[in-house]
Amino acid sequence: MASLCVNNSFILNTQTLHKRSVLPATTNKRRRSVTIAAESSSSMATEKLGIKIEKNPPESTLTQLGVRNWPKWSCPPSKFPWTYSDKETCYLLEGKVKVTPAGSKESVEIGGGDLVEFPKGMSCTWDVSVGVDKHYNFG
């Protein structure tokens, strides 16, 4: 969420809410600043080049999906083509990968802590720079 400044000087972002009293320059009263910590209760999924990524999803999401019961797959640093015959959802426990969809000059970077969804039919190249360990589920 972008910062928001309003006439009574509210400044809002995803981590902290600040309220500052704004007084006319002619008064000699001190400005007061109060900080209220705001916990980010949800992570936000993004989509780029057809790949959906949720960075560091809450454990409740992983439990709801049954991620820890999915099969595991590991891969050392390497580069290889891949085509998804079905939708794949995976949760990377560790690793770092650049995924480049076929025909694209752009890539998507994913890594440990990411919950990722690849669409059925996507052809891409995986460029694994740090060995991957992930849970995965097709369908």
Which residues fall within 8 angstroms of residue 8, CB to CB, at 6 or more apart? Answer: 19, 21, 22
What is the rounded distance in angstroms from the CA atom of residue 39 to the CA atom of residue 53? 21
What is the pTM (predicted TM-score) of this model? 0.70
Please tell me the predicted confidence (pLDDT) of residue 42: 58
Q: How many CB atoms lie within 10 A of CB 77?
A: 13
pLDDT tens digits for 39-93?
344 578 999 999 999 999 999 999 999 999 999 999 999 999 999 999 999 999 9
What is the rounded distance in angstroms from the CA atom of residue 54 to the CA atom of residue 38? 20
pLDDT tens digits for 95-137?
999 999 999 999 999 999 999 999 999 999 999 999 999 999 9
Q: Delineate the domains of the chain, giving CATH numbers in brackets.
A: 1-41 (no CATH), 45-138 (2.60.120.10)
